[in-house]
Amino acid sequence: MRIDIVKTLGYALLAALTVSVSAPVQAQATAPPKLYNNAKQKLLEGKTLSSYTVGRPDAALYCEVAKHYDFVWFEMQHSTMSWADIEKMIAACPHSVATPMVRIADELESSIQHATDIGLLGIIMPTVDTVEKAQAAVRYAKYPPEGRRSMGGGQAARIWMGEGAEATMKYRTTVNENMMVIAMIETPIGVANAYEIASVPGIDGLLIANTDLANFSGWFDREAGPYQGMLKLIHDAARRAGKYLGATGPVPPTPFPRSDFNFYQGGEPSDGYKPPSARPAPAPAKP
């Protein structure tokens, strides 16, 4: 009888120790790993992102601004840069603070494949009017099963994980959750379809294209009711779908709080850095 009591007490103590020890271990095991896409990680933490736009080959400029902004916006829709130009800039400053992203020219598989293979972690798709265009952006930006990105060459795995087969497979198995896909809403048709576009799996956010929204709609008075109404529809679509909301600069008056924006093309970096174009001109030399 005494032995049974001792055994029972021993089992009870062991069970208590097991619960007290395993609980924090289990909690730690289920904690999501920190992303190497710093911009996406900051969005998850509730921070508002600023960016700097690079539209010409300049590795020194890229490496400087990438220390201060949340993401760098490489411009491929309106610039004459090549993928090789961007590839060299990313290679010059791997693991930069600013996440390298690109406004791409189109949703073709070849274009998005070039972008992802050189190490970009964000696809900004312009003039998204339809669900199909949003789906194509996601499809070619992500590996199976979320997409159908081809696994080939390029420097992406080396930039984010290092050399060798093991690093390549680690990149392959982690990059989908680190990839961002942003849909730009720029036309009245895009506004009408904004909620369906935002609801596409893999679309992380909607970006209000302030200038082209006026250009394509004809409402150049950005404080007029129809223009403000379009802003509100895009805002509400992103919020209803649970996606992030961004804007290109300069941002016009909005019918909702500015604090509802999660990211900007432009904006001030949190460390107060001033890029070369924003610095005051040096005083002229004295004769």
Task: Give the pLDDT confidence of 206-228 residue by residue, as tens digits.
Answer: 999 999 999 999 999 999 999 99
pLDDT score, position 235: 98
| Residue ranges for the chain with pLDDT beneath 50 | 1-29
Output the CA–CA distances (angstroms, integers) from residue 183 to 53, 71, 89, 140, in the order listed: 17, 16, 24, 14
pLDDT score, position 153: 81
Phi, psi of 206 (to 5 degrees): -110, 145
Secondary structure of residue 254 in the 3-state scheme: coil
- The CA R_g of the chain, rounded to the nearest whole Å, is 24
Query: Could you give all domains of the chain from N- to C-terminal order, each with its CATH number?
Result: 35-269 (3.20.20.60)
Is the CB of residue 203 less than 8 Å from the CB of residue 134? yes
pLDDT score, position 15: 40
| Alpha helices (H) along the chain | 2-30, 38-44, 59-65, 83-92, 109-117, 131-141, 156-160, 165-178, 188-192, 194-198, 210-217, 225-241
pTM: 0.86
pLDDT score, position 277: 75
pLDDT score, position 278: 63
The model's pLDDT over 119-133, given as tens digits with 9 standing for 90+, comes to 999 999 999 999 999
Peptide bond into 145 cis (omega under 30): yes
